[in-house]
Amino acid sequence: MEIEMQYLLNNISRINEAGHSHIHIYHKIILMHIAYTMKMESTASLVRSYLRDNPEITNYLKNGIINISALARQIMKLNNITDFEATVAAIKRFKNSPGDFKLKMLDKSHLEMASNVSVISIKKSYSNMKLISSVISSNRRLNNVTMLDSGNLFSIIGDAETIRILWNSVPSEEVTDKLDGVGELTIISSDDIIHTGGYVNFITSLLYQTNINILHMMSFYNNTIIILDKADLTRAFTIISAKILEQ
Kindly report, residue by residue over 152-182, the tens digit of the pLDDT: 899 989 888 889 988 999 999 999 999 999 9
Q: Which domain holds residue 36?
A: 2-97
The packing angle between helices 230-246 and 199-208, to 10°, is: 120
Residue in 187, 175, 45, 56 with CA at minimum distance from that of residue 113: 187
Cβ partners under 8 Å of residue 208, min gap 6: 56
User: Rounded mean pLDDT of the chain?
Assistant: 78
Of 97, 126, 144, the last residue of a domain is 97
Kindly report, residue by residue over 55-81, the tens digit of the pLDDT: 778 878 877 888 999 999 999 998 888
Contact in structure between 56 and 208 (CB atoms under 8 Å): yes
Cβ partners under 8 Å of residue 163, min gap 6: 118, 119, 120, 156, 178, 180
Q: What stretches of the chain adopt beta strand conformation (E)?
A: 110-123, 145-150, 153-159, 175-188, 214-220, 223-229
| Pair 192, 222 in one domain | yes
pTM score: 0.59
Give the residue-averaged pLDDT of 127-147: 81
| Pair 121, 46 in one domain | no
| Pair 163, 201 in one domain | yes
